[in-house]
Chain A
Amino acid sequence: MAERTVQVNLRAGLQARPAAQFVQEANRFSSDVFLDKDGKSVNAKSIMGVMSLVIPKGATVTLRATGSDAEQAVERLAVLVGSEE
């Protein structure tokens, strides 16, 4: 189990296109990955789930993963949402 809380720095937040990119990245890992915001948790591999959280730039989210590559998954996704592009 890996967990990390990060701030979203993507210029436009997790809008549709960045959200799709995020989900695609999450799907590369075999671990179960979850994204939490304001007490709501969604599967990070589901595009509709991720978009339903409405995550703007500056929001604080928590990434959680369980599985063999949990550490890498959290690390990679944290970098993705933490970057400005």
Chain B
Amino acid sequence: MSGFVTVAQLVEELNLELIGSGIGLARTINSEEINRPGLGLAGFLVYYPSDRVQVLGRTELAFLSSIDAMDARERLKRICSFEQTPCIVVTRNQEISDELREEAEQYGVPLLRTRLSTPKFIAQITTFLELHLAPETLVHGVLVDVYGIGILMTGSSGIGKSETALELLKRGHRMVADDAVEIRRISEDTLVGMAPPLLQHLLEIRGLGVLNAMTLFGAGAIRTHKKIEMIIELEAWQDDRSYDRLGLDEDKRRILDVDLTCLIIPVRPGRNLAIIIEVAAMNQRLKRMGYNAARELSEKLMSSMDAHED
């Protein structure tokens, strides 16, 4: 389900300077990896990753200016001729030779330039591409940031997710998305959630309608995106179902191949869910810091049993 990024988006978001007529800006970037075409320019084109963004740093340009102009043009022609190459970026605001400009223009490869040094630019573009090309999914739920912990609240419609989010907002926490959460896997084990652009800052409360959390509660009440650390599933209280009494074991829920801790919280009139979620967030932080109350109690119990036996 990976998307793509157009070169025009890249130019816009990373503030790149466009050299030439702007031909080929609609080309798409489908790979988050970057290539420095040193070997390609040297003439070795086996395994040449032509589908990646090609970055020309000092080394590449120094090499090109060390050989004669005709030869350089031939080598550039080969690099520029791939239709799948999204664009070529020159770093450090280096001077661009006529050969490079003309060959890029002829084959319709966008030629861009950045002020940054090569390593800095590669770091920046990699982060940008990883975020935008990451696998994504849309989940029904509410994403909130409680004491810095990103909590995805799920549960059937009408169970009270938005109402709980509202109370959390009143208590000074932040909302990321209500109802629909776009989730992206930005690295092997990291999920980031955000609101679909149209629904940003909005939440819906039955009886009140659509509300804007930012205008109601201020800029401090919202976040554009947040790493998701746990899932809290709200469900109607069922008498015959057993709920976790200890908290020794963690349930996991899988989203985009990432396992997240999942708590199932039964909902019953008179239970203050916002407080329960606040405490769940704090407890999660404690666990992350290495303290687990349930485990400690269990260990104490075991050692007092051993003491009794002696």
Contact = CB atoms under 8 A, between A and B. Distances in A.
A78 B246 CA distance: 22
Contact of B246 (A20, A28, A54, A56): A20
Nearest to A47: B245
B250 interface: no
Interface in A1-46: 12-13, 15-17, 19-20, 23-24, 27-28
A16 B246 contact: yes
Q: Which size class do A's interface residues fall under?
A: 10 to 19
A80 interface: no
B308 A56 contact: yes
B261 interface: no
A27 B242 contact: yes
A51 B293 CA distance: 14
- Give the interface centre of B242, B297, B298, B301 by most chain A CB atoms within 10 Å: B301
B301 A54 contact: yes
A27 B238 CA distance: 13
Nearest to A17: B248
A20 B245 contact: yes
A15 B308 CA distance: 13
Contacts of A51: 297, 301
Q: What is the interface of chain B mostly: helix, strand, loop, or mixed?
A: helix
A63 B304 CA distance: 22
Interface in B71-110: none
Contacts of A55: 305
Interface in B41-66: none
B309 A47 contact: no
Interface string B148-188: 00000000000000000000000000000000000000000
B116 interface: no
Nearest to B242: A24
Contacts of A56: 305-306, 308-309
Interface in A43-64: 47, 51, 54-56, 59
B302 interface: yes
Contacts of B242: 24, 27
A17 B309 contact: no
Contacts of A27: 242
B246 A47 contact: yes
B294 interface: yes
Contacts of B245: 20, 23-24, 47
Interface string B224-262: 000000000000000010100110100000000000000
B248 A16 contact: yes
B297 A16 contact: yes
A23 B297 CA distance: 16
19 contacts: A12-B302, A13-B305, A15-B301, A15-B305, A17-B298, A20-B245, A20-B248, A24-B242, A24-B245, A27-B242, A28-B240, A47-B246, A51-B297, A51-B301, A54-B305, A56-B305, A56-B306, A56-B308, A56-B309
Given A16-B297, A54-B305, 6 more contacts: A16-B246, A20-B245, A23-B245, A24-B242, A47-B245, A51-B301
Interface of B: 240, 242, 245-246, 248, 294, 297-298, 301-302, 304-306, 308-309
Interface of A: 12-13, 15-17, 19-20, 23-24, 27-28, 47, 51, 54-56, 59
